[in-house]
Amino acid sequence: MPELFVETIGMIAAILGTICWLPQVIKLTRTKDTKSLSLWTNILLLVTVSLWLIYGLMLGSLPLIIANVASVTLIGIIVIYKIKYG
């Protein structure tokens, strides 16, 4: 398959997989209500996307790097809010 096609699929997946966290972060920022969120699930997810970021850096894969930098940031915010607001 052409490399441009493969990279385009990767970028689309990266964008969609990352923007799914935005509504949660926006809601938490507005309401500070974290009661229904699991801290341990979000910590595990943060570790997972951090490892994907490391993997993307090792491969030099721009879609993996971009998606996981954004995901680490957004999920990190969720974890911080959960710790701060319970």
Choose which CATH entry (1.20.1280.290, 3.40.50.970, 3.30.379.10, 3.40.50.300) describes domain 3-85: 1.20.1280.290
Q: What is the pTM of this model?
A: 0.87
Per-domain residue ranges for the chain?
3-85
pLDDT band at 85 (very low <50, low <70, confident <90, very high): very high
State the pLDDT at residue 44. Answer: 98
Q: Could you read off the pLDDT of 31-70 as tens digits, one per residue?
A: 999 999 999 999 999 999 999 999 999 999 888 999 999 9
Q: How much is the pLDDT for 1?
A: 82
First to last CA, the chain: 48
What is each CA distance from 81 to 9, 11, 19, 39, 46, in whole angstroms?
Answer: 32, 28, 18, 10, 13
